[in-house]
Each structure stands twice: as C-alpha cells, then as structure tokens.
Structure 1
Amino acid sequence: MKTVTTERLKTLKAENKDFLLVNTLDAKHFAQTRIPDSINIPLSQGGFTDKVLNTAGSKQKLVVVYCASDDCDSSTKAAKELDDAGFNVADYEGGAAAWKASGEPLAV
C-alpha cells in the first residue's frame, strides 16, 4: 500500500495537484484534526467506498486518507479498503499530528 509523507503532501498541495484529501475520523474528531482543504468521510459510517467514489468521481483520482496520528489506525484501514476496491489511494503517515508538528496549521 502506498503512503505519503508530510513533505509529499505539502508538495501535492503547493502544486495544486488534483487529489482528494480525506479525514477518516468521525465528525466530532474532524474539527480537531482537519488539515486545510480536507473533507470528512468517516470510515465508521456505512458506504465508505461509495462515498469516496461519489466525491472523487473516479477510482483513478489520487485519494490521500489520514486520521489523527500514528496511534490511530482509521486511515490505514480506510486505505486498505479503498486499495482492495481498486482506488488510487495513499495513507498519509502521521496524520494530523505530523502535519501540525511540521509547523503547518490545522483548519478551525
């Protein structure tokens, strides 16, 4: 399974690449872990892959999933589910905690 580092995610965002950044946590945790330009599609709710497909528009579009930190396995499970369904997916290593630790702000 592909992974994305903080530096790679910064590059994707800086170059305005066409990709979908998905926070896989429940809505109540999304507010505290929201990376700018990300959307919330909770893994715990039904129809996760269908919701991602409807939002991305294609399985070929890069989907980067993330959660709170390395201690959270939500994005890893989501990446596996999407990978098994044939998506172009990568798991952002470190999640929101790594993003914040790199000096980048979380959205409020």
Structure 2
Amino acid sequence: MNLKPRFALSLEMEPASPEIAYSHFMNKLTFETDVADLSIDLRKGYEGIIVVDVRDSKSYEECHIPEAVSLPNNKINEKTTNGLCKDKTIITYCWGPACNGATRAAAKFAKLGFRVKELIGGIEYWRKEGGDVVGSVAENAPLYWKMK
C-alpha cells in the first residue's frame, strides 16, 4: 500500500503572494551580488566598484581577489575609509557563507555613507567557481577559516 503524504514540510509556512515575493527578491538583490556578476564586471574593467576583502591582513596576503583592497572588518572607520570614493559601490567579502564578516563590514560602510553590496559566498565561492586569486600562496591558501 502506497500512502501519499498529507502535507509538505517546505510548505508548512504558506508562500507569500507573487507581489510580495517579487518585492522581497528585488530588495534582496539590492544588498547582494554573486561571483559571476562580479567576475564579469572586473573582466570588463568596470570602474564603479571597489572590492574590499574584510578578512585579516594575513589571510589577504596569502590569497585574495586581484582587484581587492584589504580593509579588515575591525579597522573600518571614518579615518580608514577616508580615501575611498563614495561615488563608487563597495563590494565586501570575507571567507564564505558561514562567515558574517562581509555583512558586518557592509553595515559599517553603509553607516559611513557608502553604497555597498555583499559578495555571496565570499572568497570560498570565488575560488570554487574558478575566480583568479593572487597572494603569497594564492590557490594553495586555506580555503576556509579555521578555529585555532
């Protein structure tokens, strides 16, 4: 006897109306960008963005996106961002989806008056999707942050 399920866990909470869903997803896109879009923009030489690696200096030195500047999350303030152009959009990244450093940094940049987006997946997904990296160990750098 084959019993059909009576309910779906994925639908336990009813989906939003199409209008509300559209608004939600469009709003989400104003806060994030993905590896593919950033990679294309960098290859085209688009000058309206500044990519900021917010990991610690050692991690940046070992491996980072070639066009990225290093500004560790705990060093973001009015003085350290004084030389960054507010006419450009800051794109922050950290280790990966389990790291909220890029989110915290994006919030700090926004509070300082910058337009900002977060790179979904961080350096982890940048590397997994074949993005170029540079640094003292480049492709051989640790892929993840590890607790010591």
Alignment TM-score, normalising by the size of structure 2:
0.64
Distance 2:78 2:103 in 1: 14
CA distance in 1, matches of 2:127, 2:39: 12
Q: CA RMSD in A?
A: 1.6
State the partner residue of 1:93.
Answer: 120
CA distance in 2, matches of 1:49, 1:41: 12
Aligned length: 105
Higher relative contact order (CA 8 A, sep 6+): 1
Match of residue 43 from structure 1: 73
1:36-93 deviation line (CA, Å, top 9, x unaligned) = 1111011112x53432331x2x322111110111111111001011112221111111
Hey, what does 2:32 align to over in structure 1? 3
**Which residue does 2:58 correspond to in 1?**
28
Residue identity opposite 2:72 in structure 1: P
Q: Which runs of 5+ in 2 are unaligned?
A: 1-29, 136-148
Gaps of 5+ in 1: none
Q: 8 Å contact 1:79–1:91 — kept in the other structure? A: yes
Q: TM-score, normalised by structure 1?
A: 0.86
3-state SS in 2 of match to 1:79: helix
Q: For the pair shown, which has the larger CA radius of gyration, 1 or 2?
A: 2
Separation in structure 2 between the aligned mates of residue 77 and residue 14 of structure 1, nearest angstrom: 27
Higher strand share: 1
Counterparts of residues 11-90 of structure 1 (less than 5 Å)? 11-18=40-47, 19-45=49-75, 47-54=76-83, 56=84, 58-90=85-117
- The one-letter code of the counterpart of 1:27 is S
CA distance in 2, matches of 1:75, 1:107: 20
